Structure 1
């Protein structure tokens, strides 16, 4: 290999490396922007829900409306909220949407399966692994408490019983076991799913 050829090859590798770094930086920037929008959407919706709940009388099962950010799709102009999820040990308080779609997951966690409301049963709440949503669920431990407040202000208390990791193709495992609430999210490359299993706390066992 001549000196000129070797020099050209070196330049090509440098350019390819620079292009890869640029692509990685753009991807990281895009991910940060998506996470920022998700945090803003959930925060804005939570404020609307709490303002709505503070009114003396409300019609239950009515959709809670919130103004969508200017750069959000019009499908997000209104949200049907089922309740508010609170995880004190993580400092999380998030509205939970009653319907599940990929678009709505970018706003806030959604009911994936089960019954919500004031009498939740085998409830599965799914959320993206954004830092402001479910990205820190892996920091939970058995014994941590979780609260779910429905729109009629009924609070149901849960205690974490175990954390389970399953493969992306093992959805059937979601149904297994004895539990009342499951929080569901994925890892960064979406190859695994994290299930936080919780049992309901009855009043005399608190």
Structure 2
């Protein structure tokens, strides 16, 4: 009888832990979405109407910095839009785990040199929908001057956390933008490769 009670108690404790963890994740996801929405509104107020940047722009000096806009304590390089997934999010200029709780962030590279890499949490209000993206989807980066960089998704893959060095490998690859987030299990990273294009697809 004692053993049965022990198993019942263990089951109840595990259930409570699971409910608490789910509630915590829900709160973090909701809070992240609210913070991103506030930032993007501020970005759009300051953002002038720009132009479409053509895909055949030459690679320039890698030291050239992308234009940035400061909001509160952080610098942003613009906005990412993926209409097919309902994504409209600000993009921070630098990344760390605290910044990723507010918005996706530049992991490295830049759009001038066709090697921009953006990381984002797998919150459903952030990059979680990337797990369901399709090849051919349109991705737009809008810089803080309102200029639009358009990309087409050309490849998706999963990498182990220990394989993140492959994010920057360019050998025999034709891409200009990489997006990545954790998979649902958090045991791998969903990698989305994109090629810059000139017009809607």
* Common fold: TM-score over 0.5: yes
Maintained 8 Å contact 1:168/1:190:
no
What SS is found at the alignment partner of 1:185? strand
Distance 2:158 2:150 in 1: 23
- In the alignment, structure 1 residue 64 sits paired with structure 2 residue 57: no
1:30-53, Cα deviation, whole Å (9 max, x unpaired) = 111111110111011111111122
1:122 aligns with 2:115: yes
What is the match of residue 135 of structure 2? 142
* TM-score (norm: length of structure 2): 0.85
For CA contacts below 8 A with separation 6 or more, give which structure has more relative contact order. Answer: 2
Q: Which residue of 2 aligns with 1:192?
A: 188
2:119–2:180 contact (8 Å) kept in structure 1: yes
1:106 aligns with 2:101: yes
> By how many angstroms is 1:161 displaced?
0.4
- 1:178 deviation in Å? 2.1
Q: Deviations over 1:45-89 (max 9, x none)?
A: 11111112259xxxx9453324xxxxxxxxxxx220101101010
Using the size of structure 1 for normalisation, the TM-score is: 0.83
Distance 1:13 1:51 in 2: 57
Gaps of 5+ in 1: 1-6, 67-77
What secondary structure is seen at the aligned counterpart in 1 of 2:192? strand
Question: Unaligned stretches of 5+ in structure 2?
Answer: 50-65
Q: Hey, what's the Cα distance between the residues in 2 that align with 1:182 and 1:54?
A: 26
Distance 2:116 2:68 in 1: 20
Q: Are 1:178 and 2:174 an aligned pair?
A: yes
Matched residue pairs, number? 182
Matches of 1:193 and 1:27, distance apart in 2:
21
Query: How far apart, CA to CA, are the structure 1 residues paired with 2:75 and 2:155?
Result: 30
Give matches, 1:8-19, under 5 Å: 8-19=2-13
Moved more, 107-116 or 169-178: 169-178
Question: Highest CA radius of gyration, 1 or 2?
Answer: 1
Q: CA RMSD in A?
A: 1.9
